[in-house]
Amino acid sequence: MSWCLYLDDVRDPRTPRPWVVVRDQGEFIAAVEERGFPGVVSFDHDLGEDTPSGMDCARWLVELGIEQGVDPESIEWNVHSANPVGARNIQGLYESWVKHHRRSLGAG
């Protein structure tokens, strides 16, 4: 069964899904390694000073998805960050992954 991953250093989810809440990159990676690839993921960008960002976590997840042959369009990818530039970057990374995946299938 698919699971829901929520990355944020301070906030908790506002939707009533059974979220697994993680606060930093270490917890993010550990949750994915333990549970497998999430079906739903929601990212914050800014995770505190001198710590990896949500973008770093998103890059790691995309690289893992490419290695594992995950179809990015099978994932519900959300960005809830209040940082507009960081949010656009995380969303843009996902859109690039979708394009890469479609090209690898010869569909775009």
Sort residue 36 into left (φ over 0), alpha (ψ -120 to 50) or beta: left
Full residue range of the structural domain in which residue 73 is found: 4-104
Please, are residues 24 and 51 in contact by the beta-carbon 8 Å criterion? yes
Task: Spell out the residues 6+ positions from residue 11 whose beta carbon is closer than 8 angstroms to its own.
Answer: 44, 80
Task: Tell whether the model's pLDDT for residue 7 goes beyond 90.
Answer: yes
Q: Which residues partner with 79 through β-bridges?
A: 43
Task: Tell whether the model's pLDDT for residue 108 goes beyond 60.
Answer: no
Residues 20-42, mean pLDDT to the nearest whole number: 97
Sign of CA dihedral 40, 93, 55, 70: positive
Q: Is the whole-model pTM more than 0.75?
A: yes
Please, are residues 71 and 40 in contact by the beta-carbon 8 Å criterion? no
Please, are residues 56 and 24 in contact by the beta-carbon 8 Å criterion? no
- Tens-digit pLDDT profile for residues 40-98: 999 999 999 999 999 999 999 999 999 999 999 999 999 999 999 999 999 999 999 99
CATH number at residue 58: 3.40.50
Task: Tell whether the model's pLDDT for residue 1 goes beyond 70.
Answer: no
Q: Domains in the chain: how many in total?
A: 1
